[in-house]
Chains A and B, each alone.
Chain A
Amino acid sequence: MRLAVYTDIHANRQAFSACLDFARAHGAERTICLGDYVGYGADPEWTVEVVMDLVERGAIAVRGNHDSAIGTTTVSMNAEAQAAIEWTRGRLSAAQRRFLAELPLMVQEDDRLYVHSEANNPQRWHYVQTTLDAARSIMATEAEITFCGHIHQPTLYSMSAAAKLTSFVPRSGVGVQLLPGRRWLAVLGSVGQPRDGDPAASFAMFDTDTREITYCRVPYDVETAAERIRKNGLPFWLADRLLVGR
């Protein structure tokens, strides 16, 4: 079965729509969402509505730190993120806020684990920045393959039977077989706010039969997404960074 895995959509309607279309055209049969549906972008209602609909039809969704911040003030964030969260809180319906608050932090399915930040301490929202961070996450789960996001930069880590780590920045469109016998941590890039220098939306497809993961890049209407951020009175920097992917 072919999975489409999205993370860090951040209320970017233009980016998420483009990814959903791309995945459908490439035969995606199931949707996995790794959190951070809101924050930063100007279309939180639409985004949460789409995710709720996907979940109703069998998709898996876990909770990210921005989703948590909607319901509680204890999640610490920088000023721009905080401003976006407060604006978003006023836009979402009670049902949508409840949906976000009740999402699980982690879901395991067969030999795969889905989590927003990493598996070792998911409620602490640590970033996977080094092979050591990756090793901690891999050791904390029995799943052979962990999918996560949060850092907005795609990287594929693997651990050999001898507990040696390798890291790799994947090339979009080139499938990589996640060899059995090793354990993998697939850190995905962000749909709605890429930060690796490429403004195109980032997500991944995974074929459960061949165990092949393909990181995908989808160009979308960045100007409209940026314009909507500005028009809604959100910090301008959140619009500007979409244009450069930083």
Chain B
Amino acid sequence: MAKPSVQPGAVIDGFTIGECIHHGGMATLWSVTIPGITVPLLMKIPRMSEGEDPAAIVSFEMEQMILPRLSGPHVPGCFGTGDFARQAYVVMERIPGKTLYSRLGELPLAYEEASAIAGKIALALADLHRQNVIHHDIKPSSIMFRPGAEAVLIDFGLSHHNHLPDLLQEEFRLPYGTAPYMAPERLLGVRDDPRSDLFSLGVLLYFFTTGERPFGESETLRGMRRRLWRDPYPPRKLRPDYPPWLQEIALRCLEIEPVWRHPTASQLAFELAHPDQVKLTARSERLKRDPLSTVLRRRFNRELTHPKARSDLAAQLASGPIVAVALDLVEGSDALNEALRVTSERILATLPSARLACLNVLKLGRITIDRTLDEEGKNKHIDRLVTLRHWAQPLSLDENRLTVHVLEAVDPAAAILEFAAANHVDHIVIGARQNSLARTLLGSVSAKVAGEAPCTVTVVRPPRLASLQQESADEKPDEVRA
């Protein structure tokens, strides 16, 4: 079948070809226009003349299947696809600006900037993973930013969609991807673990903060396989002023076993957004690589060097939610706080990777400018943090699963909602205000949170007393009659 020639001015399925923007190894990119769409558009056409790498075709097929199913600010919008029967192409939104690759000359970046960039990428990954897709090629040249600052992931040619056939599965003897960024499990053929993307992001974070790639640039399989047993130099060895919290995060991302990394991209984003709440372990202080004995043990541990059973992406994400419990330390009764703890405990018991954020709102007056010190000169903010930790103590949560936050706000419900949105909280647990006078005067915080939250909300009440139950039982016949 004759293929329409691609050149400026040609028209393919209504799209008018403009200038050639990029001529890459796998594909060419053209700017295109079509009446009725004002967004700048890009047409990606795979290179497929004789002798081309078959990977170019397969990865194009993957992109063609996956891109139209994605949505949201963290991916380019898809406006059309054409298949190999006529002219293969994908038309997508053209994101203005350059990829993160353009920053390579400036490395290492300041810690704050690099961790902010990593945080944005983690949020984008969380959104992608929620759409059942693992990117598998996270590296500077796959990342762009919208004018609103959200990270945009591009190039889905190596991606895996949990609900679609994985055409790259058995196609190639070598794992396909970008060697310096590839997670160790990928070398064993594992393509269904979203934490592979967290590893790649860890490589990027390490590289952007130290100027060195943690596993070098070796492209050979042998060179790449070393990362199955050899850990990288701790960043603090390269930059003595490296913040311990950042080293904690970077090295956790680079853990060889996916299960030792952050459970989800959302949880990684949460840590990057709250450096003061990062639980520091031995990782954060390390100055040397693991001793040879450890390395050798890994080298000959078949469990580490052999692939594991398939896992379900959605189930894995669901097992590691961010749960926020909102506590009223002033008006909330002990019974209510106890009920909140029991409910939180039940939720956490079924979700071993869940993270609990304990929230308290320090109410500011609407007019007066509050002083952070109370009459006795004690710092209210710190007081509240201590009380929150005390409340959480009986849960005996591992420190890296627990954070405490005091939000200063005029409107408690709005503050809780804002925290939930900003931190991608999956589940809010909140108590219902018992004091009916206060509820009448102030309105119900829990009702507003339950009504407007972007996620699941559980409203908790303390167990009812016998006398109250009796009263409501007496009321029942009336209700029936009514």
Contacts and interface: CB of A to CB of B under 8 A. Distances in A.
Contacts of A75: none
Contacts of B315: none
Which range holds the interface residue count of chain A?
A: 10 to 19
B84 A179 contact: yes
A118 B162 CA distance: 27
Interface centre among A156, A161, A174, A179 (most CB of B within 10 A): A179
B166 interface: yes
B167 A158 contact: yes
A180 B60 CA distance: 13
B165 interface: yes
B171 A181 contact: no
Given A179-B64, A180-B83, A180-B85, A164 B171 contact: yes
B424 to A, nearest CB: 24
Nearest to A165: B170
A171 interface: yes
Interface string B51-71: 000100110010011000000
Q: Is the interface of B mostly helix, strand, loop or mixed?
A: loop
Contacts of B85: 180-181
Contact of B165 (A158, A161, A162, A164): A158
A120 interface: no
B164 A168 contact: yes
A131 interface: yes
Contacts of B171: 160, 162, 164, 166
Interface in A144-174: 156, 158, 160-162, 164-168, 171, 174
Given A179-B61, A179-B64, A168 B54 contact: no
A176 interface: yes
B448 interface: no
A99 to B, nearest CB: 36
Contacts of A160: 54, 57-58, 167, 171
A179 B166 contact: no
B379 interface: no
Contact of A166 (B54, B163, B166): B166
Nearest to A168: B165
A177 interface: yes
B372 interface: no
B281 interface: no
A180 B88 CA distance: 10
B84 A166 contact: no
A42 B85 CA distance: 46
Contacts of B165: 156, 158, 166-168, 176
B54 A162 contact: yes
B7 interface: no
A174 B83 CA distance: 20
Which range holds the interface residue count of chain B?
A: 10 to 19
Contacts of A180: 83-85
Given A158-B165, A160-B58, A179 B170 contact: no
Contacts, number: 50
Contacts of B54: 160-162
A166 B65 contact: no
A168 B83 contact: no
Contacts of B64: 179
Nearest to B68: A177
A177 B163 CA distance: 12
B294 interface: no
Contacts of A179: 61, 64-65, 83-84
A177 B84 CA distance: 13
A166 B170 contact: yes
Contacts of A166: 165-167, 169-171
Interface string B78-102: 0000011100000000000000000
Contacts of A174: 163-164
A167 B166 CA distance: 8
A47 to B, nearest CB: 32
Contacts of A171: 162-163
B83 A181 contact: yes
A164 B166 CA distance: 12
A156 B85 CA distance: 21
Contacts of B162: 171
A161 B166 CA distance: 15
Interface string B109-122: 00000000000000
A239 to B, nearest CB: 31
A171 B132 CA distance: 12
A182 B64 CA distance: 14
Contacts of B163: 171, 174
Given A171-B163, A180-B83, A164 B65 contact: no
A51 B162 CA distance: 36
A131 to B, nearest CB: 7
Contacts of B83: 179-181
Contacts of A168: 164-166
B184 to A, nearest CB: 23
Nearest to B162: A171
Interface string B141-169: 00000000000000000000011111101
A181 B83 CA distance: 8
Nearest to B314: A171
A187 to B, nearest CB: 13
B165 to A, nearest CB: 4
A8 B64 CA distance: 33
A186 to B, nearest CB: 11
Which A-B residue pairs are the 7 nearest by beta carbons? A181-B84, A168-B165, A180-B85, A174-B163, A171-B163, A166-B169, A164-B171
Given A160-B167, A166-B169, 5 more contacts: A166-B166, A166-B167, A174-B163, A176-B164, A179-B84
13 contacts: A131-B170, A156-B165, A158-B165, A158-B167, A160-B57, A160-B58, A162-B54, A164-B170, A166-B165, A166-B170, A176-B164, A179-B65, A179-B83
